Amino acid sequence: MNASTESALLLATERRARYAAVRAHSEALAEPLSAEDQCIQSMPDASPTKWHLAHTSWFFETLLLKPHAPGYRTPHPAYASLFNSYYEQLGPRHPRPQRGLITRPDLAEVRAYRAHVDAAMDALLAGPLDAERAFLVELGLHHEQQHQELLQTDILHALSMNPLRPAALPQAPRAAAAGQPFAWIEQAGGEAWIGHAGPGFAYDNESPRHPLRLQPYRLGNRLVTQGEYQAFIAEGGYRRPAFWLSDGWATVQAQGWTAPAYWLPEGADGQPEGIYTLRGVEPFRPEAPVLHLSFYEAAAYAEWAGARLPTEAEWEAAATGPQAAALHQLHGVAWQWTRSSYDPYPGYRPWAGAVGEYNGKFMVSQLVLRGSSLATPPGHARDSYRNFFPPAARWQFSGLRLAQDA
Amino acid sequence: MNASTESALLLATERRARYAAVRAHSEALAEPLSAEDQCIQSMPDASPTKWHLAHTSWFFETLLLKPHAPGYRTPHPAYASLFNSYYEQLGPRHPRPQRGLITRPDLAEVRAYRAHVDAAMDALLAGPLDAERAFLVELGLHHEQQHQELLQTDILHALSMNPLRPAALPQAPRAAAAGQPFAWIEQAGGEAWIGHAGPGFAYDNESPRHPLRLQPYRLGNRLVTQGEYQAFIAEGGYRRPAFWLSDGWATVQAQGWTAPAYWLPEGADGQPEGIYTLRGVEPFRPEAPVLHLSFYEAAAYAEWAGARLPTEAEWEAAATGPQAAALHQLHGVAWQWTRSSYDPYPGYRPWAGAVGEYNGKFMVSQLVLRGSSLATPPGHARDSYRNFFPPAARWQFSGLRLAQDA
Amino acid sequence: MNASTESALLLATERRARYAAVRAHSEALAEPLSAEDQCIQSMPDASPTKWHLAHTSWFFETLLLKPHAPGYRTPHPAYASLFNSYYEQLGPRHPRPQRGLITRPDLAEVRAYRAHVDAAMDALLAGPLDAERAFLVELGLHHEQQHQELLQTDILHALSMNPLRPAALPQAPRAAAAGQPFAWIEQAGGEAWIGHAGPGFAYDNESPRHPLRLQPYRLGNRLVTQGEYQAFIAEGGYRRPAFWLSDGWATVQAQGWTAPAYWLPEGADGQPEGIYTLRGVEPFRPEAPVLHLSFYEAAAYAEWAGARLPTEAEWEAAATGPQAAALHQLHGVAWQWTRSSYDPYPGYRPWAGAVGEYNGKFMVSQLVLRGSSLATPPGHARDSYRNFFPPAARWQFSGLRLAQDA
Amino acid sequence: MNASTESALLLATERRARYAAVRAHSEALAEPLSAEDQCIQSMPDASPTKWHLAHTSWFFETLLLKPHAPGYRTPHPAYASLFNSYYEQLGPRHPRPQRGLITRPDLAEVRAYRAHVDAAMDALLAGPLDAERAFLVELGLHHEQQHQELLQTDILHALSMNPLRPAALPQAPRAAAAGQPFAWIEQAGGEAWIGHAGPGFAYDNESPRHPLRLQPYRLGNRLVTQGEYQAFIAEGGYRRPAFWLSDGWATVQAQGWTAPAYWLPEGADGQPEGIYTLRGVEPFRPEAPVLHLSFYEAAAYAEWAGARLPTEAEWEAAATGPQAAALHQLHGVAWQWTRSSYDPYPGYRPWAGAVGEYNGKFMVSQLVLRGSSLATPPGHARDSYRNFFPPAARWQFSGLRLAQDA
């Protein structure tokens, strides 16, 4: 990406304010959580809150402060490996499944680490930045925003293990219902361009923008609801293999799935007795979007419904196309599973250097999700955004929108 | 697919001869193997030879004889589940990892089962066949051909567990060297059509034929050789994470991979002391194609070589294009990993009925391989053929051809 | 042990006849089984029939022929590791869980190996033997007898995986019912001596004979029956943790146990629809002894019955004491779990050399079984015999006899 | 045990003081640890500090307050299952491996729970207690003392996962060196009585006291030292299977053990660069006792040293015998592995009721350790005490004393 032209236009004061705002949002998210809450890890794929707070600081420290801020000193040399997530080029890493055992540095020390990094960053941002550094600052902020969402999905999973069903973040937003009756929105297909068109920041995996051919298709005007999904369950959705991909059916049986993640058991009325959320247990709302589905479940539901999942190209073309206004809930409610494996775009090249590990090395055995969720921070969503997770993942705010061949 | 028109043209005698020839080829392949050899199973993904012989017969019995041959009686009702592979619609199945524990029916009984099915099929084929039945016969024969290749990959794996390194099939072919020096073959890109164009049989996953846009690219004129791959190893290919997808690197470390499957340890000259094949241990041949690579290894090699894997569309467009004559080893040597996940084609619909489970339900977490191998039976290869395996699979006859953006 | 005096008394002709008889018994046991049957392995703890035939030959070859028979040549040098079970001092070993993948040498070659060893042994036995060699011959024969029983338990387990429920050995004996009503046989306790008293062969773990003190106790006059055990099941034996050791209850839940091994599901009358045996499926016989119990199940049954398992000292003291005639089924029906962990006797010393690995290194985490079973070869049982298995093992012919404090 | 006579002699004031002292000791132990430290769990066998604090309170609440303190109300009904360890008779339990995910109740709430229970207990103790209740009070206090030691072993393990190697409890005692040169202390053997002789509290597993016969033997006058153990390592102790039990050797290979737990890697002088302890990393001290051995390692060391481990009867007879004064480090340094499996004593009966699950149901697949360690609280050790752990456990303060046949 060419971040140079735009970054040159940003005044240092704007830059410092933006940095401060993004960083403060992470801390505000974590604020309701105790030191204990912030320490634990409930599965290898999820990380402790404290680790998210530290890792995002490590990112700025490692990519900007250590190479570019003369005289910068880290609070502790061990943070280099403790808070490295997966960058092979940036040295050894603490084993991922053991992140929840790091009680020291404690939360106060991690907060001090953030403040230490922030002070040094503020000094760096006050001066002139060349294009590469400006790009890395921008990347660091987008990276932090990604972790702001993960922080929420991970603490939801962690506290879901507690039989007391505590509210992790009582002020977290609820997933809004669309309010519209279902309708198909026709899309003409034909030649379409997808990928980031600029200006503004985008990840490397959204490039290069490129043309492709689409057949005519249609998309649901809104996301699938809890009530619709409950009908699938009531018709034996989790008991009939015909709806499922082979791996999906094996997962259903191995994991004993009978409903989306976080649904409480069914009550006498055949509906779940509630749904565990960041706000604690909330009532089942038939008109609200269903969340916390795996790709397997999303695809099985679509099969049952006589439809299919959209491809990522179909999603993006529609979202940027003339009928987009009829498509509700494209953003801010739930990530939407697509039928597209996470493959590189034609001509894709990872960023140079260590940040080249950000996206490219994960391009296998994952599926693309499009849109954004209720937990996506303001300013982070894009129509060209390619989120990706393995097909069995359900702890994200992931739902689905139906598609059909026209 | 529309099999009706063509099948109507086939005379019953031709059909019977073709049936007999395909079926005889399976038995000829198994003939050098003892009853013990044919019984064992070395991993859940591989099946015993005897099971292949029985399952292919079960396929004809279940889809043609039981529904369409009045008076047909199975030799044993338990075969219905013992030899069902993965068809949920066709009843319960014996657990896949336990196929190697079925000593009874013994080999003689399985041969008798084949003869029993063949006699009934011959009678069926002697009469008139409607289009659906003609299609199922054709499908059964292609299915059997697929298993002819799997029979070879599976027995190779099974006998590779024996420290005596026996020759499973001493008459098996050797992988031919291309004999050409490496060269890039330029491809113009632009609009291309891929997918089965007919006439003739194809699997449902090769349809619908559809247009797409390709950027200009180039392909290697031949497969990567053992000697080239050895250079990758010598330069630390299995020790440097920079070449690898994240999952690939994790697999290398978890499995302790240091070379392709079946390569013997390195000798004093830095070359493997031999390569275990169906013919027993054969010498390392620098100019011969490298086989038994996982997708991860193929992709890592390409990265090291400053190239990439082709997409399946690039492969098919080139193979059917004007420069195809310059592309050696498209068929008959090694399946060629592509950079394409095994996703459905736009507008894809599985076949109706139980045979709809043949391909569609596997369309996740797999990669496409193109071409065909030295073990693919005559008449089974097609340019539109979409073979698929998980990215860590190495027991197939799988190699690679390089690609680059032009 | 001092084998010298006794062995000196044996004439060479007797010795050769005994050797031939024991060896022939192994072959007679295997005779009804096909080459396929003899090749497979159903779990790491069980071995293929063919492996038993080869390993027992390897034992003679390794301990007698190679060191003591000048000019002896092995048929194949790889047999040294292929057929070594667990002797660290005797070189590397083929991995135990992969014994079932060894199709070559095939059964005919293994039979030839046996004949080859037998010919060389016959020559060796025809000449004079010093005490050490005579001891090793005797040990090799007892070793082979142990494997004769394991051959039966292992093939029963292997063929039990086959849904056709074939009869492995149609001529195998049935477990005899005692025919007596249950009665307690009082034992006075006091000082007792246990351990092998000679003359005759015994394993090192039966020595030294030593005194100990017993409290008064009583033993059941016969083994627990299928009908008695069924009553335990009917009263919730597998659903109520109060009867179980902690590890036992965890095993019941993890394995889903609801009855002894090889019991078919319950029919409408609340009894199992049959029991899978070496003879195929046999009817449930309320008065016949229950077999194929783990230690956990035996101990839970005893707890339910208001009793306990005997210690091995109690068992041996009673079996060799004045009331022994009242104790039925001490031998020849089922190995009887005791409440004694397999610890060394006071003053225990393993045999010198590689045969020291025969017993001593297994003296942890196992429980002692006493008596002998319907599968124990004639002449192999002793009152001082210490059989041992882990507490979850159920594939042996293992039952139980109750005990109580007096 | 007959707790009635003795408890009647205790004045209520003494009882209340003793209760308060034991409870306060737990809190004093935990005091240096942060809320984060107290929350985590590093393996299923270890528990969080906070859980220990809560579970010991649950024990009093469940066995005394709920049944015997009229009007007692629990702070939260969910604590009944959250803090139940393994008592099947006392209702469901939170899964053991997930204890480290319970951030709520937080540490302050758990402390409040302790205070709540303590207030109610103090009121209960102020009144008259019948024998059963007095026994349960005493049991609760001994139970708490056991957890005081586990709290230390568990936090040591938990913080050992932190690459910063923090000091968990900087004031924790160091293991004292004996100061004596090694000497064998001869023991005559003959009839001995072992088991609790009273008066005073003992666990049910120490009864009944009973006679047995011992052969003459000798014991080391002190524990094996770090320097002696290092000599074993230097002579290939972890590379030579001949010293090891079969399961022990398998564990060494599977776990990659090359030294006792918590030993840092070897430095240039062939000695470990330090040993991780509750006080942080301490220097290697050749004369200090070696700790954190598994039974397998203790037994292998003894084999290498031409000795063996003592049986528990030998240990107890010597510790209570006339030569005991010559035996150093019997208590207060390290639990001493014995060669005795944890079997019931003859005539053993578990306590009646739920407390019968305290010991008896674990009597299989464990080994007895005798003595006590530097972490055993004052007043908790007894010569008849039977500690027990599985043979691979190394996170306890476990060492060894050598024995030999005389």
pLDDT digits (tens, 9 = 90+) for A187-213: 999 999 999 998 899 999 999 999 999
Beta-strand relationship, A335-341 and A398-399: parallel
User: What phi, psi does A29 have (nearest 5°)?
Assistant: -65, -40
Cα-flanking dihedrals φ and ψ of residue B272, to 5°?
A: -60, 145
> Mean of the pLDDT values across residues C261-265?
98
**pLDDT grade for D2, boundaries at 50, 70 and 90:** very low
pLDDT, residue A11, reads 78
Average pLDDT over residues B282-291: 97
Structure tokens at B325: 């004559």
Query: b/e per residue, A26-64, with b = 16+ CB within 10 A?
Result: beebbeebbbbbbbbbbeebbbbbbbbbbbbbbbbbbbb
Count CB pairs under 8 A between chains A and D. 79
Picking from D51, D81, D96, D103 by the largest number of A CB atoms within 10 A of its own CB, the best residue to mutate is: D103
Question: Which pTM value belongs to this model?
Answer: 0.96
pLDDT tier, C1 (very low <50, low <70, confident <90, very high otherwise): very low
Lowest mean pLDDT of A230-244, A250-264, C5-19, D236-250, name the range.
C5-19
Tens digit of each residue's pLDDT (9 = 90 or more) over C166-213: 999 999 999 889 889 999 999 999 999 999 998 899 999 999 999 999
Q: What is the mean pLDDT of residues C244-255?
A: 98
> Taking a C-beta distance cutoff of 8 angstroms, is the pair B272, B263 a contact?
yes
State residue D7's pLDDT score.
Answer: 53
Q: Which of B43, B81, B103 to mutate to test the interface with C (most CBs of C within 10 A)?
A: B103
Contacts of A among chains (3+ CB pairs under 8 A): B, D
Q: What share of chain D is helix, strand, coil (3-state, %, to 5)?
A: 40, 15, 45
Nearest Cβ partner for B162 among C34, C42, C104: C104
Measured CA to CA, the distance from residue C44 to residue C157 in angstroms comes to 11
pLDDT for residue C323: 86
- Indicate which of C34, C36, C106, C156 best probes the interface with B, i.e. most B CBs within 10 Å of its own CB: C36
The radius of gyration of chain B's CA atoms, rounded to the nearest angstrom, is 22
Residue where the block lists tokens 């002797």: C87
Which helix H or strand E contains B190, and what residues bound it?
strand B190-194
Which positions in chain B touch C105 (Cβ < 8 Å)? Answer: 164
Instruction: Give the closest-approach CA distance of B378 to chain A in angstroms.
Output: 30
What is the per-residue pLDDT for A398? Answer: 98
Q: What residues of B are in contact with residue C163 (Cβ under 8 Å)? A: 78, 81-82, 94
Phi, psi of A8 (to 5 degrees): -60, -25
Q: What is the pLDDT of residue B22?
A: 98
Tell me whether residues B39 and C36 touch, CB distance under 8 A: yes
CB of C149 within 8 A of CB of C376?
yes
pLDDT tens, residue by residue, B23-53: 999 999 999 999 999 999 999 999 999 999 9
What is Dmax (Cα atoms) for chain D? 66
A4-160: CATH, from 1.20.120, 3.30.590, 1.10.10, 3.40.35: 1.20.120
Report how far residue C148's alpha carbon sits from residue C154's, in angstroms, rounded to the nearest whole number.
10
Q: Quick one: pLDDT at residue A176?
A: 87
If phi > 0 it is left, if psi is from -120 to 50 it is alpha, else beta; for residue D165 that is left
Query: Which value does ipTM take for this structure?
Result: 0.96
pLDDT of residue D168: 98
What does the alpha-carbon distance between residue A265 and residue A259 come to, in Å, rounded to a whole number? 9
Question: By the 8 A CB rule, do D365 and C247 touch?
Answer: yes
Structure confidence at residue D11 as a pLDDT band (50, 70, 90): confident
Yes or no, beta carbons of A100 and D100 under 8 Å apart: yes
> What does the pLDDT look like over C319-375, one tens digit per residue?
999 989 999 999 999 999 999 999 999 999 999 999 999 999 999 999 999 999 999
- Determine whether domain A184-405 maps to CATH 3.40.50.620: no
Verify whether the Cβ–Cβ distance B161 to C98 is below 8 Å.
yes
Closest partner CB to A35 (pick from D36, D105, D163): D36
Which residue do the tokens 């490496």 mark? Answer: B182
pLDDT at D1: 40
Q: Categorise residue A248: left if φ over 0, alpha if ψ from -120 to 50, beta otherwise.
A: alpha
Which pLDDT score is estimated for B6?
Answer: 53
Residues C284-332 have pLDDT tens digits of: 999 999 999 999 999 999 999 999 999 999 999 999 999 899 999 999 9
Residue B289, token pair as written in the block: 């194609």
Rg of chain A on CA atoms, in Å: 22
Q: Which residue of A has its CA nearest to D102?
A: A162
Q: Residue C34 CA to chain centroid, in angstroms?
A: 24
Q: Rounded to whole angstroms, how far apart are CA atoms D72 and D57?
A: 14
pLDDT at residue A2 tops 50: no
User: Are the Cβ atoms of A213 and B214 closer than 8 angstroms?
Assistant: no
In this complex, do C100 and B36 lie within 8 Å of one another by their Cβ atoms?
no
With an 8 Å Cβ cutoff, are D162 and A101 in contact?
yes
Q: Which residues contact C195 (CB under 8 A, 6 or more apart)?
A: C206, C207, C208, C209, C210, C345, C384
Beta strand segments in C136-227, E:
184-187, 190-194, 210-214, 217-220
pLDDT at B8 over 60: no
Q: With H, G, I as helix, E, B as strand and everything else as coil, classify residue B206.
A: helix
- Residues D104, A162: C-beta atoms closer than 8 Å: yes
Residue A395 CB partners (closer than 8 Å, separation 6+) = A43, A45, A46, A153, A154, A156, A157, A261, A292
Burial class (CB in 10 A: 0-12, 13-18, 19+), B386: buried
Under an 8 A CB cutoff, do C159 and B103 touch?
Answer: yes
- Among the partner residues C214, C344, C405, nearest to D339 by beta-carbon distance: C344
Which residues of A touch chain D, with CB atoms under 8 Å apart? 34-37, 39-40, 42, 76, 78, 81-82, 94, 98, 100-107, 158-159, 161-164, 166
For B106-145, write each residue's pLDDT tens digit: 999 999 999 999 999 999 999 999 999 999 999 999 999 9
Q: Look at B163 and C39 and tell me if their CB atoms are within 8 Å.
A: no
Token output for B263: 């390569």
Contact at CB, B364 and A361, closer than 8 angstroms:
no
What residues in B contact C36, CB-CB < 8 Å? Answer: 35-36, 39, 103-104, 106-107
Instruction: Please name the residue ranges forming H helices in D275-360.
Output: 295-304, 312-319
Chain D residues lying within 8 Å of A81, measured CB to CB? 163
Tokens of B303: 């990265």
The residue of chain D with its CA nearest to that of A81 is D163
Residues with Cβ within 8 Å of D51's Cβ and at least 6 positions away in sequence, in order, are D41, D83, D99, D102
Q: Is the peptide bond preceding residue B105 cis, with omega within 30 degrees of 0?
A: yes
Q: Provide mean pLDDT across the span B180-190.
A: 97
Place of tokens 């340890």: B265
Residue C4 has pLDDT above 60, yes or no: no
Nearest chain B residue (CA) to C105: B164
D100·A103 Cβ contact <8 A: no
The per-residue pLDDT for B176 is: 87
Candidates D101, D389, D95; CA nearest to D261 is D389
Three-state DSSP class for C28? helix
Q: Are A36 and D94 inside 8 Å of each other by CB?
A: no
Pairing outcome for strands C403-405 and C217-220? antiparallel
pLDDT band (50, 70, 90) for residue D179: confident
Which of C214, C308, C341 is the best substitution to test chain D (most D C-beta atoms within 10 A)? C341
Domain boundaries, chain A: 4-160, 184-405
D-chain residues near A42 (CB < 8 A): 101
Average pLDDT taken over every residue of chain B: 95
- The percent of residues in chain B predicted with pLDDT above 70, rounded, is 98
Radius of gyration of chain C (CA): 22
Rounded Cα gap, residues B46 and C101, in angstroms: 13
Please judge whether D213 and C214 are an interchain contact, meaning their C-beta atoms are less than 8 angstroms apart.
no
Q: Does residue D8 surpass a pLDDT of 80? A: no
| C4-160 matches C184-405 in fold | no
Tally the C-alpha atoms within 13 A of residue C6's C-alpha that lie toward its C-beta. 12
Backbone angles phi, psi at A196, to 5 degrees: -65, 130
Put simply, the answer to whether D347 touches C405 (Cβ < 8 Å) is yes
Give the chain D residue nearest C214 (alpha carbons).
Answer: D346
Helices (H), C282-401: 295-304, 312-319
The pLDDT value given to residue C147: 98
**CA torsion through residues D47, D52, D57, D63, sign:** positive
